Each structure stands twice: as C-alpha cells, then as structure tokens.
Amino acid sequence: MSMSWNIVNNTGEAFAAVEPRIRTKISKLEKHLAHFPSKSVHLHIAINRNQRRKTYIIALNLRMPSNVLHAQKASSSMVKAVDEAVNVLHRQLGRVMSAYRREPDRKRAARRQDGRREIAFAESPLPPGQGPQRAEDLVASVLRDNFRRALQLVEEQIKDYAADHTIPKRAVDARDVVGRAAQTVLQHPSLRPENMTLERWFLSLSVHQVRRAIRNYIKDEDKTVPLELEVEPRGAFALVEEHENGDSIEDAVWEKLDPAEVSESDFIPDPEVEQPDSQADRQGILDAIRAMARSWPKAERDIFEMHFLQGFETGELGLLLGLKATAVERALVRIKERMRSILSSLARS
C-alpha cells in the first residue's frame, strides 16, 4: 500500500530530476505513519522562490486522519530546504502521536488492519495539477470527513435543551452552527491550540458555537440562561469570539464541506468491519445509557458524550465547558460508577 504525495511548483523552474531525491527525504516520515490507513494520509509539498534572497522556500503539509501538520524551511539549496523541513515535520509527528491513542475503536482497528501491510509513500508524486493545490485544501478535507460527527454533536446539544423545554426544537440551525465553526477554522488557523488536533478543534468549536447560539436565543427571549451556559469563554474560545463579526457563512465554505463523491466500493461489505448484529447490540447498550443519563446533571451528560464517545481529554473538556480539570475528573469517576451499574443491570436482564 502506498501513500500519495504531490508537489506544487510555484517557481516556474523544472525540478523533475530532483523528485527522486525528495522521495528519499520524505521516506523518513514513513515510520510514524505506518499504522494509519494509507488513503487517509497525503503529503503536499509547495515549492516557492524568494528572488531577492535567492532562496527556495519549502512548505510541507501532511494530512493525517485527524490533523494537518505544517513545516516550512528556506535555503539556497532546494534539497537542503526539503531535508530541514522533513526534520521539523518528523519531530512534530513524534509529539502528536499520543493524540491518537484515545480515538474510537473503529479508527484504531482501521489503522491496525492497514498496518499489517508495508506502507510507504508512492515512488512518484501525483501528476502536476492533481491532488490538493493549497494547504487549505487539506484542512478542508479533515473538516469534510468530520462534518457529520460535528453535526451529530450539535444536534445532541439542541435536543438536550429542547427536551428540557429550555428552547424550541428548531430554535437553532445545527447545520449553520457547524458551518460557522468550519469557517472559523479555515479563516483563522492560528487560533487553534497547539496541543489540539484539527479534528478535535473543529468538534470543540462546533459545540462551543451551539452553546453560544442557545445562550443567545434564550437571552433574546428574555428568559433565564442556565448556569452552565453563563460560563465565560476561556483561552482559544475567547479569541474566537473576538475575531467573529457575525457575517453570514461564505459559499466557498459550503463548497469545501460538500461530501466526497460516493463510489461503488462504498457499498461493498468489508469483512474486517464490525457486523450489523454486533453494531446493533452496541447501539442498544448506548441507547440504554443515554436514556438513563437524562436524569444526570447537564455537565455530566456532556462529559459522557464527549469523553467516552468522542475521545475528548480532561483538559479539553475543562476548556470547552468552563470547568476545572479536577471537576471533570470527579465527574468522570461518578459517570464510570453509573455506567458500571447500568451495564450490570443490562447483563442481568
């Protein structure tokens, strides 16, 4: 199995003879990427030229299942610039691998399955004009892959507050909320916390935006805002609110979020994928836990959904929900005790 890569040459110079040397340099990254599904990885290499300084500027943008990493270096030698950029990217990869340890089982299983095969970058880059042409295209692909997950998270929040009669069912447009989060990610990439993957940042922003939209709706109706929605935004979320201007979502954002074309292979059963009966059993257990969680405090329902089902870390939940890390940890202890009790009851029934 091979991972794709492409070169976008913005210099007007011919570099065909150098491509094999670039291929040798980027092979250094393969060790860290070996356990990811090959189709979920792509390396975009942009070559630019600073005429005044007579240097080549090499930008590497690596798309992984949940993130896009960026490294850039400049040198009078293009090969040297590539080598230095690869070294920076290699160090980044070493630091971020831990972010994937808490991914849902389905993703880890996919990586293990692909990891049984020898995976490397393709011998040659994609032909000119094929593949992503800008770093933003890679970011958009991560958002597109996670659009439905973000939409589900947002809809769960709306459903939760509607069930409590805090807001009407259609008071907030879930699709608009997710689109606004995507627009923020695309237009303000520097706002993303360094320790948060692109996927997690997009999902976090979606939840932040829907809670904000619900709070604003309640205020506009001159009703009492629930305490958990009165929490002042912290860190990156406070910066997001400073940068937003309330403009409508641009058409270009929706174009980037359009789902990829469906191919015939999407309808062919994969023997490695969990079978429907097993999926139904798991969904039944999840539905039972969610039903009983209706009586839990709102913060604990959110922590259950985002920690156990989406893989959010304690610190990320604290930042998003405006809670101290110790408060999140205590809530997790209570939730685990309740889950053990629920699972025990289900096993006896």
Instruction: Find out whether 236 and 193 touch, Cβ atoms under 8 Å.
Output: yes
Fold of 2-133: Double Stranded RNA Binding Domain (3.30.160)
Q: What span, in angstroms and rounded, lies between the C-alpha atoms of 25 and 83?
A: 6
Fold of 275-348: Arc Repressor Mutant, subunit A (1.10.10)
Q: What span, in angstroms and rounded, lies between the C-alpha atoms of 266 and 333?
A: 40
Q: What is the pLDDT of residue 220?
A: 95
For the chain, the domains span: 2-133, 142-257, 275-348
Total residues belonging to the chain: 349
The amino acid sitting at 314 is: T
The amino acid sitting at 40 is: S
Q: What is the pLDDT of residue 6?
A: 96
Sequence-ordered list of residues with C-beta below 8 angstroms from that of 148, at least 6 positions apart, any chain: none
Closest Cα to residue 26, out of 61, 1, 74?
A: 61
Q: What is the pLDDT of residue 42?
A: 96
Q: What is the pLDDT of residue 244?
A: 72
Q: What is the pLDDT of residue 342?
A: 84
pLDDT in tens, the chain (349 residues): 799 999 999 998 888 778 999 999 999 999 888 878 889 999 999 999 999 999 999 999 999 988 999 999 999 999 899 999 999 999 998 887 755 554 544 444 444 544 445 789 999 999 999 999 999 999 999 999 999 999 999 999 999 999 888 999 999 999 999 999 999 999 999 899 888 889 999 999 999 999 999 999 999 999 999 988 988 787 888 888 877 766 677 777 777 776 543 333 333 344 444 444 555 567 777 888 888 888 899 899 999 988 988 888 888 888 888 888 899 999 999 999 988 888 888 777 7
What distance lies between CA 150 and its chain's CA centroid?
Answer: 9
Burial of 263 (0-12, 13-18, 19+ CB in 10 A): exposed
- Token pair listed for 31: 């060790």
Segments in the chain forming alpha helices (H): 19-26, 30-33, 78-96, 105-115, 135-145, 147-163, 174-187, 198-220, 235-243, 251-257, 276-293, 298-303, 314-321, 325-348
Neighbours of 313 (CB within 10 A): 17
Q: What is the pLDDT of residue 99?
A: 53
Q: What is the pLDDT of residue 344?
A: 84
Closest Cα to residue 201, out of 313, 63, 329, 71?
A: 313
Neighbours of 228 (CB within 10 A): 15
pLDDT tens, position by position, 11-68: 988 887 789 999 999 999 998 888 788 899 999 999 999 999 999 999 999 999 889 9
DSSP H or E segment with residue 35: none
Q: What is the pLDDT of residue 61?
A: 97
Q: What is the pLDDT of residue 117?
A: 54
| Long-range contacts (CB closer than 8 Å, 24 or more residues apart) made by 6-9 | 6/42, 6/43, 6/44, 6/45, 6/125, 6/126, 6/130, 6/131, 6/132, 7/45, 7/46, 7/47, 7/125, 7/128, 8/44, 8/45, 8/46, 8/47, 8/133, 8/134, 9/47, 9/128
Instruction: Find out whether 47 and 15 touch, Cβ atoms under 8 Å.
Output: yes
